[in-house]
Structure formats: C-alpha cells, structure tokens
Amino acid sequence: MELIVRIGSDPTSWAVADATSATLAEQLASGPVALPVTAPLTGTLVVSPKAAGSVALIEPPGGQVWETHDWNPGHGQAPSAPKVYLASPAGPGQAPMYVVSSNVARETVVQDIVTAMADGKMLTFQVYAASGTGVLVISGGALPFAVVC
C-alpha cells in the first residue's frame, strides 16, 4: 500500500510505497527513519521526527494510488552523483537540489544524514550547482528531513 507523508510545515506530499501508517509511526517513535520515496522525487527520504515537529501519515482511501507528476519539467538528464533536497516552502519542483561529489555513494550520504540526525551533530558535503561549487552545512539536530536521490 502507498502512504502519503507530510512533514512539518513543508508543502510537499511524499509517496512511500509498501508502507502503513501504523508501522511507520512505530519507526518514527524510535528516531530518524530512512524511507524509499517514489514521488515527487525518487530517492530516500530521511526524516528526523524530533526536528520535524509533526509528521502526517496518510493512507489513500480504498487502496487508491496517489497520482504524481514529473518534478523535472525540462526532462534534462539528472546528474549521476547523489543529490540532496532540503525542506523548502517552494517544494521540490522549484527548490534547489544540491549535487554531492560523485566520489560519495548515495547510500553513504543517506547514512551520514541519519547519523547526524541521531547524534544532533553538524554535517558538511562538498556540493555542485549550476551557479558554482561550495559546501552544504547541515545541522542534524535541526534538520526535519532530507531526500537523497
């Protein structure tokens, strides 16, 4: 069954396949959780319930599938390096995505974020964007969620 997840004041509805609200609620009660998401971005959603304040877990009625849309209207080829999306009032279609060094595996980025959330520590990644290169600094203790694609 598909589950819709909404986090804090972020306007985005995340689609999580093969999940139930009861199971996910139990997981969130014990700390940060990494969830495979299928829309509006495809990747791993890492949620810190402590920092999020609230997490809504919604099961569509009658087993219906949530209709999604393509977040990349230009249909350009996505970078092969891991990308990180952070909460934004604009949502994932309008907000920047940070491309992490291609020398870092996507699974490593996910685990580093989970660890920073659990420990409440700072985390940095070398990132690349159309406007240049730099460093993404994340406070694991304050980060409500991130999606790694």
Query: Judging by DSSP bridges, how do beta strands 83-86 and 55-58 pair with one another?
Result: unpaired
Question: Does residue 12 carry a pLDDT above 90?
Answer: no
Q: Which residue has the higher pLDDT, 46 or 88?
A: 46
pLDDT at residue 126, rounded to an integer:
83
Structure token digits, residue 25: 């609620």
Give the model confidence (pLDDT) of 106-139 as tens digits: 999 999 999 999 999 888 888 875 556 677 878 8
Single-letter amino acid code for the residue at 128: Y
**Cβ distance 36 to 44 under 8 Å?**
yes
- pLDDT digit string (tens) for 53-83? 778 787 776 655 544 443 333 444 555 789 8
Closest Cα partner for 32 from 96, 123, 101?
123
Question: Given this model, what pLDDT does residue 34 score?
Answer: 95
The pLDDT score that the predictor gives to residue 88 is: 77
Burial letters 31-70, b for 16+ CB under 10 A, else e: ebbbbebbbbbebbbbbbbbbbeebebeeeeeeeeeeeee
- Rounded (5°) CA angle 123-85-3: 115
Indicate the SS3 state at residue 28: helix
Other CB atoms within a 10 A radius of the CB of residue 13 amount to 16
User: DSSP secondary-structure letter at 144?
Assistant: -
* Percent of the residues in the chain that have a pLDDT greater than 90, as a whole number: 27
